[in-house]
């Protein structure tokens, strides 16, 4: 993955690096242990909410982080956080510094922790019970029951352009710089 300070590029770099041959990598156990301590700090649990370490978040991350870029990013995160594991204040400071200095690596950590946490059955139960809502995880294939929307008419403002009528657009004057 090319070094980037733009978190929005995470998707492009992430998907561009994927290939079936790259799915043989694993996060080392010692790095996964550091990631789990960071996860417990990011989502502390309590008041009916489980801590990430009290669920199968570690297994979810271990199974999900199989691409080289993900494993490299999580190992980089673990390396940056390992020295600060003794105290909550030190870990918070290290996470804040990581977010500022390595935003893409922090985003990888955040995505894995959040996706793993909210996929756990204990968390789904907590959402249903504590928030009293109809939460379906994942929402497919059953989906949510929704009332029919009779007041919005389908759009009639559409047209067809034959392929031979399509023309190039001059993009030389468009500013593609990141702002």
* Mean pLDDT of the residues in the chain: 84
Q: How many domains does the chain have?
A: 1
DSSP string, 96-150: HHHHHH-HHHHHHHHHHHHHHHHTSHHHHHHHHHHTT----SS-TTT--------
pLDDT (mean) for 34-55: 95
- Residue 47, phi-psi category: left (phi > 0), alpha (psi -120 to 50), beta (remainder): left
pLDDT at 140: 60
Name the pLDDT band for 6 (thresholds 50, 70, 90): very low
User: What predicted TM-score, i.e. pTM, was given to this entire model?
Assistant: 0.68
Query: Is 45 part of any domain?
Result: yes
Query: Is 4 part of any domain?
Result: no
Query: Is 177 part of any domain?
Result: no
pLDDT at 130: 93
What is the share, in percent, of the chain residues with pLDDT greater than 70? 82
Query: Is 107 part of any domain?
Result: yes
Query: Is 109 part of any domain?
Result: yes
Query: Is 160 part of any domain?
Result: no
Query: Is 135 part of any domain?
Result: no
pLDDT surpassing 70 at residue 9: no
Query: Is 150 part of any domain?
Result: no
pLDDT surpassing 80 at residue 3: no
The boundaries of the domain holding residue 123 are 27-130
């Amino acid at each position: 993955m090319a070094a980037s300070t733009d978190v929005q590029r995470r998707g492009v770099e992430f998907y561009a690096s994927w290939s079936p041959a790259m799915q043989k990598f694993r996060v080392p156990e010692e790095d996964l242990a550091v990631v789990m301590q960071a996860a417990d700090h990011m989502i502390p649990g309590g008041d009916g909410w489980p801590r990430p370490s009290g669920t199968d978040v570690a297994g979810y991350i271990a199974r999900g982080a199989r691409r080289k870029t993900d494993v490299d990013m999580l190992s980089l995160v673990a390396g940056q956080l390992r020295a600060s594991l003794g105290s909550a204040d030190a870990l918070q400071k290290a996470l804040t510094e990581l977010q500022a200095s390595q935003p893409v690596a922090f985003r990888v950590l955040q995505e894995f922790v959040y996706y793993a946490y909210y996929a756990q059955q204990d968390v789904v139960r907590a959402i249903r019970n504590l928030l009293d809502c109809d939460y379906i995880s994942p929402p497919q294939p059953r989906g949510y029951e929704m009332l029919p929307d009779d007041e919005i008419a389908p759009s009639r403002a559409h047209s067809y352009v034959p392929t031979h009528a399509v023309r190039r657009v001059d993009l030389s004057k468009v500013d593609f710089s990141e702002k």
